[in-house]
Amino acid sequence: MKRCWVLASWFALACSEPADPAGREAAPSGSAVEVASAPSSPTAQTSASAAVANVPPPIATLVPEQVAALSDQTEVTLHRAGAQLLVMTEKKVGRLANGGVEWSAGVFPGDSPAFGPTQLYWVGGEWPDSLDVLFRYANPRAPVPTYWPLTGKGGSLSFAPGGGGGFISGVARVGETTLVSGWDFMDGYRIMTARGPVVRRLRTLAATGCKPGEVTIPDFGPPPPAVNPYVFGSTSAGTLLSIGSHCDKRGPAAEIWDAKGEQKIVSLKEVGPDIDFGIELLPGKGDSAWLFTPGKSLVAFDAGSFKRLPGLAKPPKNAFVSSEGELFASDGATIHRLERDAWLPVAHLAWPTTFGSIASHEGAFWVTLGGRLKKLVPGEAVAFREGCSTPFVLLYDVSWKSEPTYTFPTTRKALSTFPDVGKLKLVEFNEGARRLGLVVPSKEVGEAVIAHVKANMKDEDPKLLCYQPASTREISLGAKK
């Protein structure tokens, strides 16, 4: 049976024959309808079935919807932990279930008189009995990054406990053992057991794995590793991965320990020139994982080897793995799923959006936008279509640096020379982000002002939409308002 390309929550919309919400052209006359009206015969019936089967299902357009369970404006992030989707605030952890949030009873240390408030910034492990969290203090000179077993048995591990430089590069699991990798000035880089039976995994040291002059060996304290880690984690099968720079000057590399502890260093120069700080490690099923650098590339790991994945038409802004082990990526306009080394579009976003985090769970996509948890639900596309009664020109997204009362003088100056400027209304509105646009009376005026903007404002790319903002701030195109 052919697999549906969208998730269950909009199954009926995506797998039926809706009224073209994305403005795509209808199937050419002479396809399924014409074949179905042909004389009945086994050959004709087979051809008709094949024609219908080869028509891909339409792709849903999605819009974010506020989650009632978190309508108190609590800021959250999303984290995948096996089959569970975890929701985390700065102070507590819960799981998403039945459209709501079930909070964990686990606690971590309170605020410190010396270092300030505590802030959770990562959660993993297994719900509900062995949740792992990372927290830090708000004091920028003494964040004291700390691993803490939120539930179940385990020991806490702090880096730079007295203040100063220190970080945790990741948490990994090997069977029943939880390992933490990090660094501070006092003890250097290390991998330590936090839960379960003690498992020792020693890094190749730069002093033995690098040539003289490639890396600086300190006079005091332990030498750095040959692979200076950006991120540390594991596959579901227990293979450890430490991704970073090799001997400082050899480029990106991975130090790998399989489940038995066998160790090797693999160069990533051929597959990951974009691998750098900020990289994410996304575990898949079995001994697989993906490396993702936002806005850049995706690299697949499978049973000890790496390969670069094909790129999207636009650089990916978000990537995530479902509980079924499927890899998804969003370029801000379309969500794609990886299918046999090819990207298949599964949903369009009504508005271009970069999410704080995104995940698939319970047959839907869940996102954080401005720190708020939202569910992506079927909505109306805003692409312009003939007969539209609300033509609208999207100019650009407003910079976060712009104050709330900013009047966009450069844009107003460019628009002031448009012959029909009196027919325009300049408005700021919010659709997942602050945006600037023009209410126009007709398609013709919209197309004319788009041409004018492109001719008078370098690098701008306005779009004609069919849209009416629900709430706006109007900016006068005359004197400053």
Low-confidence ranges of the chain (pLDDT < 50): 1-42, 44, 479-481
The CATH architecture to which 391-475 belongs is: 2-Layer Sandwich (3.30)
Question: How much of the chain, in percent, has pLDDT values that exceed 90?
Answer: 70
Residue 23's pLDDT is: 33
Report which of 191, 117, 103, 200 is spatially closest to residue 150, judged by C-alpha positions. 103
- What is the end-to-end Cα distance of the chain in Å, rounded? 60
- Report the relative pairing of strands 334-339 and 318-321 from DSSP bridges: unpaired
The CATH architecture to which 62-378 belongs is: 7 Propeller (2.130)
Residue 161's pLDDT is: 94
Distance CA 135, CA 42 (A): 67
pTM attached to this predicted model = 0.81
**CATH fold match for the domains 62-378 and 391-475:** no
Residue 89's pLDDT is: 94
Measure the CA angle with vertex 65, ends 63 and 68; round to 5°: 170
pLDDT tens digits for range 236-278:
999 999 999 999 889 999 999 999 999 999 999 998 777 888 8
Domain boundaries, the chain: 62-378, 391-475
Residue 55's pLDDT is: 63
| 3-state DSSP of 142-179 | CCCCEEEECCCCCCCEECCCCCCCEEEEEEEEECCEEE
The number of residues in the chain equals 481
